[in-house]
């Protein structure tokens, strides 16, 4: 027995000392859930009174809901590039649907969010739309994730467009409605299934699992069961102020000059406004169910207590507000997004109303997972951990959204300020005018508020990166150029 005493003492000395802080894992896993084109039409955000999102709502109850979160860009590629590089669009010059940031020499080797986690021993997995493009990356480019699941996307389609030809080039994405198919045939269902399989089979820990859902991006196709949640006869439509654009600068139209997303006037004339709202709601509830499947699998895996869950949308979406559909604006329907953080170290059932940015996710996850700082280029966001610890804490920075060079929206607690590339401006008091119907920028009495917000305009404001394409707007001081052609104001789409 005496010969075993040294071994016993060695085991005792080597055993970890359990203290009050050991309930929080040193390296928690990360479940990173992205949803495309989802505005604030989520139950816990109250954006639409009829929307049914029980699974996103239950996630909000188990963590912190940021009720005033905003994107860095109202377009997929620049938004996702910003989130995953930790850099503003005005810093990278990524404003359009192209290029993939790795093809820009200056950012070809920048350490992305998943790469940073991989460098700290995480197994990084991705499925669906996480980046915009670059899936999987070319073999001569840095690898973002260790393994990739299904790319997701639209999935099964009808034989022909359901709503018929649309203006702006009759883009095949501009469609919505239901037709005979199964949930299992949809790209988002397959994305959720792959994520569920990884959780069920056991992933090498710690893991960073990213799953990106396509809907409610157009085409908004869903099966009949989801449409049945929103009967047409009782559908509540968005509030629209006729003539809302009369006090907005002409330049505000240039940000979405000639696009496939139909104007409100066309949707009303062709009887498609109500059907779009119904299809958008149905698509949201379908995606919510896929989120629920992944959350259930996480709980069943035994990792719910050691996994940080982040749910976010890349930008919002107009459904008639400001007389348009789609994104590509600097107003609240385009910029405000769902953002939920839950897991170890995050209080449950908490709401934070401070303006925050999706750019903040990179530094927040570094803090929550106790990683070292990102090497190379400094991150431009700010950790949300102080707000997670105290949701009423002061936060000196506003949320800043950029759409093409020189066009910026500044969102503070009470105000939205917009400066366009030609110098024209908008100002809204969201405390009394949450729908942004009255532009106060031309009222001299608001000059002090305008001056306070102008100081937050980005000091770095780069021109479009080489290879920029699609929805790219430039301004040379005299002429606005849309996708390579001068804008002729008289040719504005009605």
What average pLDDT does the segment 473-477 reach?
Answer: 97
CB count in 10 Å sphere of residue 250:
14
408 is a catalytic site residue: no
Tally Cβ neighbours within 10 Å of residue 107: 21
Q: What is the pLDDT of residues 162-190, one digit of tens each?
A: 999 999 999 999 999 999 999 999 999 99
Q: How many angstroms separate the CA atoms of 197 and 66, rounded?
A: 30
Contact 432, 438 (CB under 8 A): no
Active-site entry in 44, 76, 220, 352: 76
Q: pLDDT tens-digit profile of 296-325?
A: 999 999 999 999 999 999 999 999 999 999
Name the more confident of 242 and 10: 242
**Residues near 212 by Cβ (< 8 Å), separated by ≥ 6?**
33, 34, 35, 36, 126, 127, 128, 129, 130, 152, 191
352 assigned to active site: no
State whether residue 417 is helix, strand or coil: strand
What the chain holds in terms of domains, given with CATH numbers, is 26-392 (3.40.720.10)
Active-site residue, from 48, 132, 272, 303: 132
pLDDT at 140: 56
pLDDT, position 339: 98
Q: CB of 216 within 8 A of CB of 284?
A: yes
Residue whose pair of structure tokens reads 């405390």 in the numeric block: 431
pTM assigned to the model: 0.93
3-state secondary structure of 343: coil
Crossing angle (nearest 10°) for helices 76-85 and 361-368: 30
> Is-contact 418 453, C-beta < 8 A?
no
Q: What is 171-231 written as a DSSP string?
A: -TTS-EE--S--GGGSHHHHHHHHHHHHHHH-PPSSEEEEEEE-TTSSSEE--HHHHTTS-
pLDDT tens per residue, range 247-275 = 999 999 999 999 999 999 999 999 999 99
For residue 15, pLDDT beyond 60: no
Using alpha carbons, list the distances in angstroms from residue 308 to 33, 91, 345, 369.
11, 29, 9, 8
CA distances in angstroms from 306 to 57, 65, 191, 362, 386, listed in the order given = 20, 19, 23, 19, 20
pLDDT value at 197 more than 60? yes
Whole-Å CA distances, 277 to 176, 236, 326: 10, 9, 12
Structure tokens of 347? 């209080």
| Cα end-to-end distance, the chain, whole Å | 92
204: pLDDT confidence band, cut at 50, 70 and 90? confident
171 neighbors 85 (Cβ within 8 angstroms):
no
């Amino acid at each position: 027995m005496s010969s075993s005493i040294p071994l016993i003492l060695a085991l005792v000395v080597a055993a970890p000392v359990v203290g009050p802080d050991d309930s929080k894992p040193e390296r928690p896993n990360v479940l990173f859930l992205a949803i495309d084109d989802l505005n604030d039409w989520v139950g816990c955000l109250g954006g639409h009174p009829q929307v049914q999102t029980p699974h996103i709502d239950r996630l909000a109850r188990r963590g912190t809901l940021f009720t005033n979160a905003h994107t860095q860009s109202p377009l997929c590629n620049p938004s996702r590039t910003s989130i995953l590089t930790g850099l503003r669009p005005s810093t990278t010059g990524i404003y359009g649907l192209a290029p993939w940031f790795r093809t820009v020499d200056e950012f070809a080797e920048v350490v992305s969010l998943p790469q940073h986690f991989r460098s700290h021993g995480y197994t990084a997995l991705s499925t669906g739309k996480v980046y915009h493009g670059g899936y999987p990356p070319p073999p001569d480019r840095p690898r973002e994730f260790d393994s990739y699941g299904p790319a997701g996307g639209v999935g099964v389609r009808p034989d022909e467009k359901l709503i018929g030809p649309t203006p702006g080039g009759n883009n095949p994405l501009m469609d919505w409605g239901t037709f005979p198919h199964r949930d299992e045939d949809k790209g988002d269902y397959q994305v959720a299934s792959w994520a569920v399989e990884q959780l069920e089979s056991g992933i090498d820990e710690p893991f960073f699992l990213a799953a990106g859902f396509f809907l409610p991006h157009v085409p908004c196709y869903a099966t009949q069961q989801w449409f049945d949640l929103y009967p047409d006869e009782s559908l509540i439509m968005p509030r629209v102020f006729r003539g809302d654009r009369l006090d907005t600068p002409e330049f505000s139209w240039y940000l979405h000059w000639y696009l496939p997303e139909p104007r409100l006037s066309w949707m009303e004339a062709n009887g498609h406004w109500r059907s779009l709202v119904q299809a958008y709601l149905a698509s949201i509830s379908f995606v919510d169910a896929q989120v629920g499947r992944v959350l259930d699998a996480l709980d069943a895996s035994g990792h719910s207590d050691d996994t940080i869950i982040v749910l976010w949308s890349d930008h919002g979406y107009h459904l008639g507000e400001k007389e348009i559909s789609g994104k590509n604006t600097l107003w609240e329907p385009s910029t405000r997004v769902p953002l939920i953080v839950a897991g170890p170290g995050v209080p449950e059932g908490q709401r934070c109303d401070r303006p925050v940015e999706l750019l903040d996710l990179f530094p927040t996850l570094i803090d929550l997972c106790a990683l070292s700082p990102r090497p190379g280029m400094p991150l431009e966001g700010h950790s949300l951990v102080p707000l997670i610890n105290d949701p009423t804490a002061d936060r000196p920075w506003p949320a800043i959204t950029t759409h093409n060079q020189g066009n910026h929206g500044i969102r503070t607690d009470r105000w939205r300020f917009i400066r366009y590339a030609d110098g024209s401006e908008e100002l809204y008091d969201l405390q009394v005018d949450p729908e942004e119907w009255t532009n106060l920028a031309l009222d001299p009495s608001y000059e002090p508020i305008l001056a306070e917000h102008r100081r937050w305009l980005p000091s770095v404001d780069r021109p479009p990166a080489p290879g920029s394409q699609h929805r790219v707007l430039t301004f040379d001081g005299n002429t606005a150029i849309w996708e390579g052609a001068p804008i002729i104001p008289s040719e504005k789409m009605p």
